[in-house]
Each structure stands twice: as structure tokens, then as C-alpha cells.
Amino acid sequence: MSNNLKFYIDGAWVDPAEPATIDVVDPSTEEVFATIARGGAADVDRAVAAARAAFPAFAATSREERLVLMRRLLEAYKDRYDEVADALSREMGAPRTLAQRSQAAMGTAHLARTIEALEGFAFEELRGSTLIAKEPIGVVGMITPWNWPINQIMCKVAPALAAGCTMVLKPSEIAPLNAILFAEAVHAAGLPKGVFNLVNGDGPTVGEAIARHPGVDMVSFTGSTRAGILVAKAAADTVKRVHQELGGKSANIILDDADLKRAVKLGVEGCMRNSGQSCNAPTRMFVPAALHGEAVAVAKATAERLTVGAPASEGTWLGPVVSQAQYDKIQRLIAAGIEEGAELVTGGPGRPDGLDRGYYVRPTIFANVTDGMTVAREEIFGPVLVILPYGSEEEAIERANDTPYGLASYVQSGSLERARKVAARMRSGNVYINYPAWDAGAPFGGYKQSGNGREYADFGLEEFLEIKGVVGYAPA
């Protein structure tokens, strides 16, 4: 039986305080295919009360007890894996292969890596006669986005469990079904009641209620920088910890000694993957001015090989973007690029040929882009790449860092030593050299307006802990 019209509070599926609903739209058809309950402040109050009541006992559990629970959760999640992948493909338009191999797989990877981190984590350290203890911060409010839904849920839930925290989760109302399936896995795993609570709803209502709530000790938010500012302001009155992973406009510097064809091809694919809806996507490609024409030709050929189509269709590389609002924003920014004089290489306004329904966007590339153009400054969050020619390595670094964001940077070079030197100067939380394999153990988070705090493995676990100094704990 579906739990779409219920919330998971205090270990049970319960009705909302007041009946209200939100439609869930399939972005490939623009049709409503599911309905979920819409929560309010009263539902948040109930969930927070359950989490607060559960906290003392759960905070007192041993590492071994939490490891048992987390391993059971991992198995329960694996049991629902295919259902999660199907939900992700339907509610956010992810191509079936992406949903199965990447989107749903992130949940398994992060939970497994957090279990590994917990196994060897040092919660106590003696410095002279002083004990340094790391203790769970308390009740955590979690607000997660629609673009990598189960990834961000697990990046918050797993370390919170490892730390001994209790929690209230509000997933995105645009892609909520994977979260309901996850809550069912939590229940199947037998987590103590009140440890994990789920309330669906929108940001201005449920999200703000969580951020403002005096019973919430920490709020962990992933989403746009604009929304992150609102969360921080709402949280300020209660001086709770605010952990944020926000927007990005990541630079991809291709140096003159790189394998240009490979660097450009993989850079285009990295930007376009997930229909461009990744906060750390390499959306600003800096290429040597002398190689600009060649780079543009490779980028054009690469983008035009990427198949846009229905998520369930075999061979689809890009599905739709997630919503009408997202589609409209991307169209507005593509129009701005054209109006401001960027060279439209491929793509452009409107849907791809043959797709008259669904929020499909043409894979779009602009060349000869200058730093002041809107498409070079704003996070587009769609399959749109801008190519910026540069004169010197020094110029490329300076311009790449000239952004309010600082989530990720990319550096391509035939010399690892040279790439390392450039990486050391990038003002971003991550730097990826020569398109490495994804690492679930690398700290993830941003500088500047891309947020504060880190996620993944032990770095994520640290965020959910308070530090206590017990002076005189040991004989001097």
C-alpha cells in the first residue's frame, strides 16, 4: 500500500495534521502521475517532538549498536534499489541507465562509505589531562533537493545516524517518491522510533518551519544559494548550526598541453550529464585562445551526438529537465546569451526536434563568451556550456576564480605537476584533475557562496558532532 499521503513520524506512517496535497509531475510528459501529502508547521512540530524524545537514548548507543542499524539499513535499501531507480527516473526524468547506475547507486555508495568511516572514527582523544569528546549535536533538520535526490538524502541521514543524532527530513516536493521508499527501508531496518522522521511539503512552509524550529539543533540544507540564504536567516534566531551545500558555476581550465579532443569531449559530457542539473557541473570551459576554434568544433560534435529523449527509451543520454519552472529559467538564460552576443554554436531556444511535450532542452553551447555575460555568471542548471578563450595560464586562473561560487573546479593538463600547481590556486572546495574517477571519500562542499561545511565519509560525520573539552579528566 502506498504511503504517499502519509508522513513517517515516530516510527509509524501517520496522516497529516490537515489534509492537503501536492501533485508530482512526470517531466517527460508534463502529466501528474502521483500525489503526496503536503505538510505544515503542526506536522513539523510532531516530527521534532518525536526526534527530541528519541535523542537521549539514541545518542547513548554505542558505535557497535549504530553500525548494526546502519548495516541493516544498507540491506533494506538494497532490497528497494530497483524501486528507487524507477521512481527517480519517473519523477525527475533521469534516463533509466543514469537512474540505475548513478542516481540510485549513490545511496548505496554513501551509506557503505559512512559505515566504513564510523568503524574507525575517533570520538574521544586525550590531550594531557583534558578529554576531547565528539558528541552528537542533537536533532537535525534536513532539507534536500530534486537533482540528485537519494544522494543528498543519504549524505545527510548516514552521517547523522553514525554520529548518534535524530532527524527530520523534508525532501524536495518535486521528486519526493524516492524519499518515501527510503523511509520504508528505514522502517524495515528497524531503526528506533523517532530517530528518523519524514515530513513532505514545500520550502516556504515545511522547510522554513524546520529551519526556524527551536527544537532543531542543526539544519543541513542542499539547494540553491538563494534558498540557502533564506534558510540561514530563518535559523539565525535560534543560533543553530547551519550546514549548506549550495550553487556553483564551476570552471574547467584546459591548459595548452592537454589532450584537447579528450579534454573538450569529456568536459562537454560532464556539463551535460543529468541534463546539466548538477551543482558541480563544469559549465565554464576555459580554452587557450589559439585553440578556441578547434575546441569549439570538438564541443559541437560532442553535443550533437548526445541523444535527448524519453527516460525509458534505450539510448537516451539526456532526459528532460525537472519542471516547467526549470525549463523556463533555462530558456530565459539561453535567450540572454544570444542577446548579449555570445556565439551560439549548437542548440538554442526551444525543444529538440521531434519532442513537442516534456521539459526537454537542446544541448546548447556558446563560444567566445566573456566574463560579464549572464551565461558566464549565473548558474543555469541545464545542459548549457559556455566556452571562454584565454591568453595566459595566469589569466585563466584569475578569471576562473572570479565568481561568487566556489564548489568545484576542473583542470586538464598533460603534466600532473603543472595541474597540481593550478589546483592549489583554485578557490573551490573540490578540484578534479584530468577527469578522475568519482571518490565517495573526498570531502564535498564549497567556498564562498557555494556553502559551508563538508559532506562524504568522515568529513560528513564531523559536521553532525559537537566538541566537548573535559578539563581535568585525567590526572595531571
Q: Which residues contact 61 (CB under 8 A, 6 or more apart)?
A: 164
Q: Which cell numbers in the block locate residue 259?
A: 589532450
Around Cβ 366, how many Cβ atoms within 10 Å?
Answer: 27
- Across-strand partners of 134? 467
Dist CA 278 CA 405 (whole Å): 14
Residues 6 or more apart whose CB falls under 8 angstroms from that of 372 comprise: none
Instruction: Dig out the grid coordinates for 175 from the structure.
Output: 521528486
DSSP state letters, 209-236:
HHHH-TT-SEEEEES-HHHHHHHHHHHH
H helices of 80-212, in order, are: 81-92, 96-98, 104-119, 149-163, 177-189, 208-212
> Cβ(364)–Cβ(332) under 8 Å?
no
Given the residues 245, 379, 455, 463, the one annotated as active site: 245
4-16 burial: b if 16+ Cβ within 10 Å, else e: bebbbbbbebbeb
CA dihedral 333, 335, 338, 342 (to 10 degrees): 10
Cβ contacts of 278 within 8 Å, gap of 6 or more: 147, 148
279 is an active site residue: yes
DSSP state of 99: I
Cell of 327: 525549463
Listed residue (42, 33, 52, 55) closest to 7, CA to CA: 42
Task: Give backbone dihedrals phi and psi of 342, rounded to 5 degrees, phi first.
Answer: -70, 150
Of 220, 283, 209, which is closest to residue 251 (Cα–Cα)?
Answer: 283
| 94, 103 Cβ separation under 8 angstroms | yes
Task: Exactly one of 165, 279, 393, 455 is catalytic; name it.
Answer: 279
Which grid cell is 406? 566556489
**Beta strand pairing status for 343-346 and 364-367?**
antiparallel
Residues in the chain: 476
Instruction: State how far the alpha carbon of 359 is from the alpha carbons of 91, 93, 94, 227, in Å.
Output: 12, 9, 12, 23
Burial of 93 (0-12, 13-18, 19+ CB in 10 A): buried
271 included as an active-site residue: no
Strand partners, 221: 143, 244
Residues catalogued as catalytic: 245, 279
